[in-house]
Amino acid sequence: MPLLLTVLVLLTTSAATGVDTTANQEDIRQAYQRYLTGESLTYDEKFDLARKLARTNLWPEAIEVYTTLLSEHPDDPDSRLGRGLVYAWRISS
């Protein structure tokens, strides 16, 4: 199986099951609160937040953060892919 396909399958499987053993719920809540209050977050912090929100089935919040990232970095393929996967998971659930 090509590497990219393998990675996509692994990402889809872990996110679709809602299992993320690395994401502490309180840490995610605090990071999202920082985002909501307009605290200056780096690209990496926002991307990590969006990923963690998606993996914990907080799909509307994840889409919001990915959309913000895309408004700041419109050509970012990672944010485009991340948001697309979240839309797909939301529809398939």
pLDDT at 8 over 90: no
Cβ atoms of residues 79 and 86 within 8 Å? no
Measured between alpha carbons, how far is 7 from 3 in angstroms, rounded to an integer?
6
Mean pLDDT computed over 30-54: 96
Task: List the chain domain ranges.
Answer: 41-93
Cβ atoms of residues 56 and 28 within 8 Å? yes
User: What are the distances in angstroms from CA 93 to CA 23, 40, 67, 76, 90?
Assistant: 21, 33, 21, 26, 6
> What local confidence, expressed as pLDDT, does residue 23 receive?
60
pTM score, whole prediction: 0.75
Cβ atoms of residues 62 and 54 within 8 Å? yes
